[in-house]
Amino acid sequence: MVQGQGFDRRALLRLSLLAGATAVGAPLLSSCGGGNAETPAAAGQSGQAGKPLATLSVSAPHAVTDSEAGNPLATSIGATLIVMRHVYDSLMVLDKGEYKYQLAESVTPNADASEWTIKIRSGVTFHDGKPVRAADVVHSLRTVGTKPSNRASVYAMVNLPGVTAVDELTVKVPLLVPRGDFKESVLIVFSPVFPEGMTEFSKPIGSGPYKLAERNGTTTKLVANEQYWGGKPTVGELRIVGVADAAARLSALKAGQVDYAIGISATGAKTETANTALTIIRGGAANSNALSFAMNQKLAPFDNPKVRKAVRLAVDRKALVDNALLGQGSTADDVVGKNLPGYADLAERKRDLDQARALFAEAGVTKLTLRTGELVAGMMNASKLLVQQLKEAGVELTLEELSVDAFYADITTLATHPFQAFYYVNRPAAVHLSAVTHGKAPFNVTGTSADYQAKLAKAQATPEDAARGKAFGELQKEFYEQGGDVLWGFQEQLDASRAGIGGVRIEQSVQLFDRATGPA
């Protein structure tokens, strides 16, 4: 990432994508847990167990607009999100690819999934020693579900005034419309819990594994909550240092100023591969950006399904990953959610230039224009390579290159462009499709049809898990065959640590350090 205004625009987009900032409130998965990667010691690759650490210092991405680490109403990316995840527990999380309860003990619907009952874990206390009660959950849901919370849209389908505490450990949550996917589309997305009455977060109190000790500029110091219900953390003091530039984060690690650097570049990872003093951590597809060339089905020439199919067949995905991402990623097959819960059995997309040429010729398409920019590292190189690949299929592609600021200057117009580079955070397919492909979502850059949207609404409302999962599987297959995303690659989360650091979990591109260890 680069410093300055361009970083802020990317941070704003990523925040909007993660927060589910859609007109109808369809939520997107925030980095609130997910497909899990671990540093070698925790993954069983080191051959020996690590030991607890008195301190651990981490350099993490930081937007210049970020100010209050630990504020759940204004959580952005990088450092602020990491602080929040260590200070607060959530009702539910994704852990190693599975939906799991954290503070919740059970979450169950009524017959038509129009009301849900949350039972919370007993015996859990906040950092100030007070017990976590149903009244705290009610206050938390109402607070994060109401503006100025930047996650308010996640709760747009919740009847917030109707959320009530039935007893000390039971909460009733009525919905404005039946939603069988309430757990995965709301609680998994964003459900931190804090004490009843807390509306100011300069000194945040949670029930998580760490307590806020102090803030000093862009540095936040956390200390272990030794009475944590989930087990005493292995790191006594955790220091999170916000650094905007990826190269600077890696430099701080190499200079011994920090122990772990979050979000290094593919170039940096490749350069340091042979450095035995460091360990490069690759997040895999589950912890990645999903990169796409998005075709809007409502706009010519992509309103013709033959043209969309032709573009998909003309793309050499492996070449894009190998060249634009320097091999630090994996190929994708047009649907978000690979290696995460609920991903359908989709065939690997193969290049077929002969069929692509024939389809382009049949549709009379000889020229296209792609709106693009360096939205994430490697996107411009990928766009330039696409020019060559489409030329081989008989189509002249012109690149309309914009700065990141110009590209996202008005997010309400993103769905008005026929063909553009785009990226998403990889998340479970059902959650992604619910948010991004809904007709009124500002990030519906592929212009899904009314028929598709009706099927989506029906799937969301289905109360029975297996039936809903089957319905979302069918939606994925339809999107794979007819949709507008040429989702060509997963750009992995790339981190680096000093040698011997283990036990760091990466869940949907968020690093968790409460079980981190040092060299034995």
Residue ranges of the domains in the chain?
A: 45-88+208-283+500-520, 90-200, 288-492
> How far is residue 249's CA from residue 264's CA, in Å, rounded to a whole number?
7
Q: How confident is the model at residue 36 (pLDDT cuts 50, 70, 90)?
A: low
Q: Which of 388, 380, 390 is nearest to 325 (CA)?
A: 380
For residue 320, pLDDT beyond 80: yes
CATH classification for the domain delimited by 90-200, as one of 3.30.70.100, 3.90.76.10, 3.40.50.150, 3.40.50.720: 3.90.76.10
* Phi, psi (rounded to 5 degrees) for 220: -120, 130
Residue 469's pLDDT is: 95
CATH classification for the domain delimited by 288-492, as one of 3.30.70.20, 3.40.50.300, 3.30.470.20, 3.10.105.10: 3.10.105.10
Is residue 246 within 8 Å of residue 10, measured between CB atoms? no
Beta bridge partners of 398: 369
Query: What number is the average pLDDT over the span 353-371?
Result: 98
45-88+208-283+500-520: CATH number = 3.40.190.10
Residue 286's pLDDT is: 85
> How far is residue 161's CA from residue 156's CA, in Å, rounded to a whole number?
12
Which residues does 182 contact at the CB level (< 8 Å), separation at least 6? 107, 109, 113, 116, 173, 175
For residue 368, how far is the Cα from the chain centroid? 31
Residue 128's pLDDT is: 97
Which residues does 201 contact at the CB level (< 8 Å), separation at least 6? 68, 70, 71, 72, 73, 194
Residue 216's pLDDT is: 87
> How far is residue 501's CA from residue 56's CA, in Å, rounded to a whole number?
10
For residue 314, pLDDT beyond 90: yes
Q: How confident is the model at residue 43 (pLDDT cuts 50, 70, 90)?
A: very low
Query: What number is the average pLDDT over the span 253-266?
Result: 96
Q: Which token pair is 60?
A: 């993490």
Q: Is 303 exposed, middle or buried (0-12, 13-18, 19+ CB in 10 A)?
A: middle
Residue 32's pLDDT is: 34
For residue 265, pLDDT beyond 60: yes
pTM to 2 decimals? Answer: 0.83
> How far is residue 111's CA from residue 113's CA, in Å, rounded to a whole number?
6
Residue 27's pLDDT is: 30
> How far is residue 247's CA from residue 264's CA, in Å, rounded to a whole number?
7
Residue 114's pLDDT is: 97
Q: Residues 252, 254, 259, 263: what is their CA dihedral angle, to the nearest 10 degrees?
A: 70
Query: What number is the average pLDDT over the span 212-237?
Result: 95
For residue 400, pLDDT beyond 90: yes
For residue 206, pLDDT beyond 60: yes
Query: How many alpha carbons lie under 13 Å from residue 419 in its C-beta half-sphere?
Result: 20
Residue 16's pLDDT is: 43
Residue 11's pLDDT is: 44
Q: Which of 28, 46, 29, 30 is nearest to 38 (CA)?
A: 46
> How far is residue 251's CA from residue 255's CA, in Å, rounded to a whole number?
6
Residue with tokens 């906040």: 126
